[in-house]
Structure formats: C-alpha cells, structure tokens
Amino acid sequence: MTRIVKNPDERRREIIQAAKTLFQTREYEKTTMSEIMKILNIAKGTIYHYFSSKEELLEAVVQDLVQEDLHKKQELISRPGYKKMNALEKLKTLLTSGNIADGNEEILEHLHTSGNTILHTRQLAYYLNELAPLYARVVQEGCEEGIFKVANPLECSEFILAGLQFLTDTGFYPWSGEQLSRRISAFPSLVEAQLGAQPGSFQFLSEL
C-alpha cells in the first residue's frame, strides 16, 4: 500500500490520536510503537521522527487531553448563559465541568507507576500552565464585582488548581481514605480564604 505524505502537524496529530485510542482500548503497557505504525501505515523512521520513545508519545497524548479539557472549558464560557452569571457562579461551573481524567482512566493510570514520577509531575505542571489563566480571568471578574478580594488572580488560581489536582491525586500521594477525606473537607474553607469569598461559597468542592 502506498504511503501518503502529510504535513508535519497533521501527521503528528494523527500519531497522537492513534496512540490515544490504543492506550485506552489495549492499555499503555500492551501497546507497541509497531502497532501504531501498522495502523497508520507509516515507516519506523516516520514515527520516531516525531516521538523518540513510547514514553514521549504518552506525554504528548496526556498534553493533548489537557488541551481538550481547556477547549471544552473555553467553549463552556463562550455560551450566552455563562456570560450572565456572576464570577462565583462561573467559577463553580468551571470547577464542576469535569477534568481530563473523565473517560481517560486507562491512559492516566500509567502516570501513577513508580517509574513515571517525573513525567507525572511535568504533566501536572503543564495542566496548571494551560488552565490557570482561564480561571484567573474569572477571579479577576470576581474582584471587580466585589465577590472576591485577591491581589494576584493568576497565582491564586494556580494555587487553588494545584491543591485540587495534586492533593487529591492518590496516584501521586498514597493517601489513606481518612487522609484524603480530611483534605477534601478542608478545601472549601481554604479556597474561600484564598479568594476572600463569603464562608460557605465553595462548599460544593467537598462534593466533587
């Protein structure tokens, strides 16, 4: 079969999508680079031109999941109904709109293995860099509305997202059920303190 020449961005995207499907259906450990090459009908030199290893490809897949989550939230905040909300309602909508783990458990589970601590950390940092500015704009709106009192909206958003992402990630920290529950129950008051919000405003966080 004749191989089709595609532009670099399209080819890279195609490889990521094929890997994502296999990682979800066959699991990461059971997937080989050769299988991806066969599905896409590309040469070994082609796939290794874009990704030097399966681990590097996994990192690209997870980053793609983060981008999907970002686009989902951007689409959410562009809806007319969202624009009519105050900042607290907007922030609640963003925080309860799901995350990259939804439907991607098989892929993300591999980040929890002991050999992937560095990769896992990089991916969490990537998540913060991509998502925090979106939340910061809402926090700034809340300050202008008098709902929040924050001197540094971006840093505050990074702090909140880091806490929600890192401290509840049992693959990163082997918390017991009691330890996890204790942290989750403390989140609402901690977030309220960070934002200068009314007590009880973020009680919904304990139910996520």
Residue 1 confidence (pLDDT) = 45
Q: In terms of pTM, does the model score above 0.95?
A: no
With CA atoms as reference, report the closest residue to 204 among 92, 125, 105, 99. Answer: 92
**In the chain, how many domains are there?**
2
Q: What are the φ and ψ backbone dihedral angles of 5, each rounded to 5 degrees?
A: -85, 125
Burial of 108 (0-12, 13-18, 19+ CB in 10 A): buried
Read off the tokens for 90: 């907007």
The domain containing residue 40 runs over which residues?
1-52
Same domain, 163 and 145: yes
Residue 2 confidence (pLDDT) = 53
Same domain, 87 and 168: yes
**CA-CA distance, 167 to 162, in Å (whole number)?**
8
Mean pLDDT by 10 residues, the chain (208 residues): 71 95 86 94 95 93 92 93 95 88 73 72 89 97 97 96 82 81 92 96 88
**CA-CA distance, 68 to 162, in Å (whole number)?**
19
Same domain, 127 and 45: no
CATH label of the domain that carries residue 180 = 1.10.357.10
CATH label of the domain that carries residue 36 = 1.10.10.60
Residue 25 confidence (pLDDT) = 86
Q: Are 56 and 122 a contacting pair, CB within 8 Å? A: no
Residue 130 confidence (pLDDT) = 95
Same domain, 197 and 187: yes
